[in-house]
Every structure is written in structure tokens, then in C-alpha cells.
Structure 1
């Protein structure tokens, strides 16, 4: 008796970004606002980071709300219906629930059910991780169209008095639709991690700290004052912190190598690019990467960080959305994008802009 042969999905030659969308919250936080909480100045912040303002979402706007708005614009710009979406990937580290995923709720809101949906936790590299996965899903025939969203409400995990990272961060969401193409529109992904620097960017506390506080009171037989317990839990709420010098050196020296590798595996050179969109972590990092890549003057460099701050997984699609709005001639040209952040993790691709 012969063994039956399994059928496989038809493999597609290429994929590309078909549409892009963005959501920027309407609350603008200036450097003067930030300096109410930390001992700094507008001049120092601009010199060290390039940031002038950052957007932050009000209490009644969630990560899911922002992601949905960005995805709706991307789907409309791609010229498809939500019912045609074959998967939804959401990159975020600020969805307030460990489970269920933000992606499942967003998929339902979009009217894209029963498309598979899942979240990616890869911090500032998360969008590029999502692009790598969407490219593979479409090329393998597993899905025809995939929505990739980077969305963050970092203001939920900020201690305004913390000096290492709080003044950098903003909120927002960006999204793209990846679909089939007659020729490759997304180059091979260069991605990876360096867990030896796992604690270079992280949280000040974990949920274990809060649990230990409660268990300590129970073991002592103490009748905990609920108001005091609430205040203690609030003070233990995990907020972001970083070792700025470690992150800066790693981003500048190691990520330049990864960006060059992304160009190499895509079979292009810096002269072939129309745009360079690195993660908007710090303007000095953006400028140093551009310098090491020896980008010609014809390449337009994204510097969205000046107005938007560092929005983690949302930064690359937000910056790309702005570049296309301000420079429509970039449509159809090649862009090198690279994300890097907590983990430490990184991801890069050369893509053809929609």
C-alpha cells in the first residue's frame, strides 16, 4: 500500500507592502512638560535625543483602539476588504493583558474573523519581526493578505520621574498590509537576539514583586490596610528603565552591521535606496547609523522621533507613513528598515514602499 502524498499550498514568488496606516494620539507632551518631573531642560533633551515633543494617548484610548484605527487605514489604502485578511499580527509590549491577545480583539473589530491572530513581543524590533512572518505566510500560500501592526501605549508603563527612559517615550500605532506580488517587494530578513544583554532595557519590577508583598503580609498574619496595599501595588507597578550607555553602544555599532547585512542579502546597495527608516530610538543613533552606512544625499532619512518620540514597535510604520505623506515620490522605491530594542532583539529588511 502506497503512502499518500500530502498537498501543499502553492508557493508565491514575491510579496510586498500594499497599504499603510497610522494613528497618532492628540495629546502632545513637550520637553517643558517633561521637565516638570525630571531635573532636565529642553536644550539637554534635544541635544541628547533630538526629541522636541511626543504624542501620548488619553486614558480612554487603548492600545487596541490605536491599532484598529491604523489597521483600518492600511486596509483601505491596500484596496482590499477586511474579509480578505488571512492573518493579523500585532507587535506590542503594552497590551495590558497577558492573555487573550490584542490581535484577536482587533481582528474581530476589523471584521476580519475568523483570520488567525496573535501578538508578538519583540519590543522595538517587533514590527520587523511581524514583517518577516507576514512575508513567509504570504509566500507559502498560508494567507493571501496579512495585516502587521505595531502599537504601543508606553505612557502606561512610564514613571515620569525616572530619568533613563521616561522622557523618550510616546504612544501611537502604525500598520501595513502585506500581500502577493509578481516580484519580490520584501527582501530577506536579518533578525536575531543577544540575550547576554537581557537586562539592558527592562522593567523596574515584576508581578512577582507584587505577589511577594501580599504573601509577606499573609505570613505575618497582618490585616493589610487595603488603601496602603493599593498604594504599595501602585508603587510596584512595572515601569520601563534602561542602561542608556549599553543600549547606545550596541545600537550604533552592532546594528550598523545588521543594516549592512540586510542590504547585502537583498542584493542592493545604499545607492539603490530611496529611504532609510531605522527605529526612532534616539536622533544621535539615527544619524550615526546613516553615517556608517554611507548613505548618499539622495536617500531620505526618517527622523520622526523629533515630533513623536520613541514609540517602540510603532516607530518604523509611523515614520514610514510620515515619509510617504511628505515625500510621495518615494512610492515604489526601496527602503531599508531596522528595529532594535529590549531583549536585546533586532530585525531588518529592505522593502519596496507602497
Structure 2
């Protein structure tokens, strides 16, 4: 016998209500990186756009940074942790397979009614998590979902590696997603290309044997030219598709917030997409490096706090990274 199953209410709108961030206290310049790699400081800047980056200290653990960013977002939104129905953390640097980092963050926040889980999609993780959160709110699964991108990339970084040591950094960013009369988060466009997964990966897997050997840790490895070629070839049509699926044109975009991977990639995308001259472009990478899943909310907050973008502006988000994967959506800024 087939019995009728009751479904949830009709879909409603969703939007980002607030953003909060945590940036580690320690600022590391290119001279420090050069000392450990033999690279020239100006070469580092010319190849990446990075002048400084943030490194987390011993007291700035991944849960500490993620929780701090979430607390700021909740305060800005005027939402109590008890109202959160789900916590989603995008990260690749939680060094325990289980339990999820999101579970600890929810506990630290006092979000006792929330479910919690992590998303592993590398530098595209925030946009993946935001898409899931938007659907939860739209379909009535939750009224408020907390999305966090948090990374301590320095924990998986070979600081002598000339290909990666100058790129990656630490930090956390969070947004609160809630209901809205008008849609404030557009449809996600996402894709994966496993044929190129060797371009950006871990040097070895986590095994009990390795973990028993002090000082032996998996590290991130990357073929920069392969990632650049893929990004510059795939992301322009992807960005156009994201905007089109939102029912908009590139001329409607007030702010462009791509993953802060490399300034050269950002400038290529801006040149090819042809935004308005007054469209704000996130270049947080110059001061804060590549923070993987944390980079988009960090860059979003930087545009808002400096007045380059404003509440209600239409922003194109575009995350991309190891896999190789990308994900993005159009949003109204909080």
C-alpha cells in the first residue's frame, strides 16, 4: 500500500542576514616566506598578488576561529544560537575525521537544537555549504542556518615548498542564512572534474602509522600552472551561467567575490567577464592570502567594512579548488 507522505511548506526565499569573520593576529610578510623557500619577495607578489598573509598562533585553533566568526555573524544578525537549526562548516583542515568540526562549533555556540556537519569541497566549500543552507531555509527544514568557512592551512602546508608556501593562510568567516520575502540567494551552479584531481591534492593520506610518527604529516601539493589553466578556461563560462540562472546579466552585478586563490586569476576573470566599471572586486588576497574555504566570507566582509560594497548589493560568488571543483551563486549582500 502506498500512503501519502506529507511534504514541507511551499518554498520561500532565503538570504544572507549577516557576516562575521576571524583573522589571526600574526601578519606574515613575503620576506618571511622568502627566507624559508629561497624565493624573491617581489617574485612572490608578482606571481600571486600576495603581500602579507595571516598565520594562526597556538591559541587560535580551528574551533576557536570558527566559533569566533560565527559569534560575530550571529550578533550582527540579531539571532540567538538557540534559533539555529543547522551548522555547516566548510573546511579541509580539520585534522580529525570525526566528529565533525561543526558539531564542536555548535556546542561552543550553545546551539543545542541544531544539527551539524562538515563539507569537504576545498576552496569551493563555502559556496557548496551556502547552497545547502539556502535550500534548508527555502524548504522550511530550518529557519536559520549558520554557514562557516574555516581553515588553518598552515597545519597542512610544507613551509619549504616553493610552489605552495607563499600562497596559503589561516582564517574563518561565517554567515547566517535566514528566510526572506524575496529571494536573496540564487541557484547554485557547480561541477567537478576528477580527471584533473592531481593538480591540487594532499601529498599522502592520513593513516594510523603516519600519525604515530612525530613530524610526518600530509601536506598540500599543487601544480600551479595546471590550476591556472583550468580556472581561466572553465570559470568564465561558469560565471556567466551562474548569473544567467539567477535571471540577471553581468551588468546587474554590483560586486564580484571570487575565491581568493591568486590575484592573477581574479584579474583574468574580471577582464574576460566585462563587469561595469563601478563593480566592486574582492582582492582580499593581497593582505590575507589564500584561506581556502574561508576566503569568500572574509573577502565579503572586507568589501562591506571598507564601503566598497553595501547592504543589498547584488554579488557574484565563485569558489573553486581541489577536485577540481567549482561552485557559485548570486546573492544579495547582508
TM range (shorter): over 0.9
Matched, 1:273 2:272: no
1:248 is displaced (CA, Å) by 0.4
The Cα of 1:4 is off from its aligned counterpart by: 4.4
Q: Which residue of 1 aligns with 2:132?
A: 133
Corresponding residue number in structure 2 for 1:291: 271
Partners of 2:102 and 2:117 within 8 A in 1: yes
Offset, 1:6: 2.4
Q: CA deviation at 1:328?
A: 6.5
Post-superposition offset of 1:269? 1.2
Structure 2 gap ranges (5+)? none
Alignment of 1:37-186 (within 5 A): 37-186=36-185
- Does structure 2 conserve the Cα–Cα contact (< 8 Å) formed by 1:336 and 1:350? yes
What is the Cα-based RMSD across aligned positions, in Å? 1.5
Q: Does 1:241 align with 2:221?
A: yes
Which residue number in structure 2 is paired with residue 222 of structure 1? none
Tell me the TM-score normalized by structure 1: 0.92
Equivalent-residue separation in structure 2 for 1:55 and 1:107 (angstroms):
25
* Distance (Å, rounded) in 1 between the aligned partners of 2:231 and 2:307: 27
Query: How far, CA to CA, are the matches of 1:276 and 1:164 in structure 2?
Result: 27
Q: In 2, distance between residues paired with 1:54 and 1:311?
A: 9
**How many angstroms does 1:324 deviate by?**
0.4
* Number of aligned residue pairs: 334
State how 1:298-313 maps to structure 2 within 5 Å: 298-313=278-293
CA displacement 1:232-283 (0-9 Å, x = unmatched): x52x310111011100011111011111110110111121111000000000
The 8 Å contact of residues 102 and 118 in structure 2, kept in 1 or not, is answered as: yes
Provide the C-alpha distance between the structure 2 equivalents of 1:305 and 1:87, rounded to a whole number of angstroms. Answer: 29
Q: Does the residue aligned with 1:117 lie in a helix, a strand or coil?
A: strand
Instruction: Check the 8 A contact 1:25/1:55 in 2, yes or no.
Output: yes
CA offset digits 1:151-185 (Å, max 9, x no partner):
00001011110111121011000000001100110
Q: Extract unaligned runs of 5+ from structure 1.
A: 215-228
Q: Is residue 328 of structure 2 the alignment partner of residue 353 of structure 1?
A: no
TM superposition shift of 1:3: 5.5
What secondary structure is seen at the aligned counterpart in 2 of 1:55? strand
1:5: which partner in 2? 4
- Distance of 2:203 and 2:238 partners within structure 1: 29
Distance 1:329 1:298 in 2: 10
Q: Distance in 2 between matches of 1:156 and 1:3?
A: 52
Question: Is the Cα contact below 8 Å between 2:280 and 2:308 reproduced in 1?
Answer: no
CA offset at residue 330 of structure 1? Answer: 1.7
